[in-house]
Amino acid sequence: MISPFDDTYFMKKALEEAEVAYDKGEIPVGVVVVINDRIIARGHNLTETLNDVTAHAEMQAITAAASFLGGKYLQNCTMYITLEPCQMCAGALYWSQISKIVFGASDPQRGYRKNGVQLHPKTKVVSGIMEEDCGDLLKRFFIEKRNLN
Amino acid sequence: MISPFDDTYFMKKALEEAEVAYDKGEIPVGVVVVINDRIIARGHNLTETLNDVTAHAEMQAITAAASFLGGKYLQNCTMYITLEPCQMCAGALYWSQISKIVFGASDPQRGYRKNGVQLHPKTKVVSGIMEEDCGDLLKRFFIEKRNLN
């Protein structure tokens, strides 16, 4: 039997979260955290709603996943993220010792890879899953913002 | 008249926060956020208590200061931190556009300067204020931890 649970399946779920952010007028970034093919945490960017620069999707999902697991380390977890994490979120992922991250669109300006931020040595990285869909939602958001101003 | 409010005055307040963390069995790092010589936010490390790697003193204080100010940017604010921020906290400080950070002890292993993490161009940095006192509290914590194990 072919499992329906692959990286694309879970990235679609992260993209659904990004769409929730979009509908709230937030920069549309979404996240899910998965363990054994089960989603244990979701998150979407809430920096405007909460008036808080730390309220990125990843930060909320790290806290939620740790709460679900009852421990602060995200061993055997994979985080699916629609956009390459920034240096803050990559720093948080470092501390979480998460096993794997998968992201969609790259962020050459604000992404963690630009400045050499370190992830944990235990963390595997996959990039470019549904890159176009994840990037298109962001582009749509910024075009709309520009036209409103 | 000589003002009592200098960097040492506020670093002492941050160190008081670090001592609160120490008493809770947390790695003793403390923070205050100051605007016009007034403390508007305090924080100490709570990663063990909250089971959350994102619960560094700085992260909590950024959220608290933004809440006090009613806006997410920490313009005209100075954060006093007993230890050099890690890459996660430096990343959060970047997003906050904070005007100034002052830290006590350096952290050559986990500090933000090691990997080239960027602070915001608007952010001034002062280091080494009460370096010895801030560092001694951390050393005392780790010696005690070792002896208990």
What residue type is assigned to position A79 of the chain? M
The per-residue pLDDT of chain B, averaged, comes to: 96
Helix (H) or strand (E) holding B42: strand B38-44
Mean pLDDT for A86-97 is 98
Q: Which pLDDT band, with edges at 50, 70 and 90, does B148 fall under?
A: confident
For residue A148, pLDDT over 80 is answered with: no
Structure tokens at A148: 């409103």
| Interchain CB distance below 8 Å, A87 and B86 | no
ipTM of the complex: 0.94
Distance between start and end Cα atoms, chain B: 51
* Strands, sheet with A78-83, edge to edge from the N-terminal-most edge strand: A38-44, A30-35, A78-83, A100-105, A124-127
Please, which residues 35-94 of chain B have a Cβ atom closer than 8 Å to chain A? 47, 51-54, 59, 62-63, 66-67, 70-73, 86-92, 94
For residue A119, pLDDT over 90 is answered with: yes
Q: Which pLDDT band, with edges at 50, 70 and 90, does A1 fall under?
A: low
Q: Which pLDDT band, with edges at 50, 70 and 90, does B149 fall under?
A: low
Q: Which residues of A are annotated as a binding site for Zn(2+)?
A: 56, 86, 89
Q: Which residues of A are catalytic?
A: 58
B77 is in an annotated binding site: no
Q: Which of B115, B122, B123 to mutate to test the interface with A (most CBs of A within 10 A)?
A: B115
pLDDT of residue A73: 97
| pLDDT digit string, tens, across residues A44-66 | 999 999 999 999 999 999 999 99
| pLDDT digit string, tens, across residues B23-49 | 999 999 999 999 999 999 999 999 999
Distance from CA of B7 to the nearest CA of A (A): 26
| Interchain CB distance below 8 Å, B91 and A87 | yes
Least CB-CB distance to A117: which of B70, B92, B115? B115
* Strands, sheet with B38-44, edge to edge from the N-terminal-most edge strand: B38-44, B30-35, B78-83, B100-105, B124-127
pLDDT of residue B76: 97
- Which residues are B117's β-sheet partners? none
| pLDDT digit string, tens, across residues B124-144 | 999 999 999 999 999 999 999
Least CB-CB distance to B72: which of A47, A88, A91? A47
| pLDDT digit string, tens, across residues B50-85 | 999 999 999 999 999 999 999 999 999 999 999 999
pLDDT of residue A149: 66
